[in-house]
């Protein structure tokens, strides 16, 4: 991206004791965000956009985006403890 060093780094912190499946989902979302910004910058701003670069952080800091997984039961018996898995009750 032709941002000439003007990007803003923003940490993304995954709170709580979550499994790798959830962390991977957040990482995928971060990658999609970055790709979408690259696309938007190239198409609409001639590559001169001011990107917000998201990255995973192991520490909670004041400026971080915090992602939390708090729901155990979503709806109609579908559980959120893992993708394609039911929890051990």
SS (HEC) of 11-64: EEEECCCCCHHHHHHHHHHHHHHHHHHHHHHHHHCCCCCCCEEEEEECCCCCCC
Q: What is the pLDDT along the chain (89 residues), one digit of tens a residue?
A: 444 457 788 999 988 778 888 889 999 999 999 899 889 888 898 878 777 888 888 888 887 898 887 665 555 555 555 554 444 54
d(CA 46, CA 27): 27
Query: Does the predicted TM-score (pTM) go above 0.85?
Result: no
d(CA 45, CA 23): 32
């Amino acid at each position: 991206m032709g941002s000439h060093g003007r990007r803003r780094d923003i940490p993304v912190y995954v709170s709580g004791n979550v499994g790798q499946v959830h962390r991977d989902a957040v990482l995928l979302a971060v990658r999609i965000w970055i790709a979408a910004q690259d696309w938007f910058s190239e198409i609409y701003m001639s590559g001169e956009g001011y990107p917000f670069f998201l990255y995973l952080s192991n520490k909670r800091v004041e400026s971080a985006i915090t992602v939390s997984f708090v729901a155990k039961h979503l709806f109609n018996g579908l559980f959120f403890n893992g993708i394609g898995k039911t929890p051990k009750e």
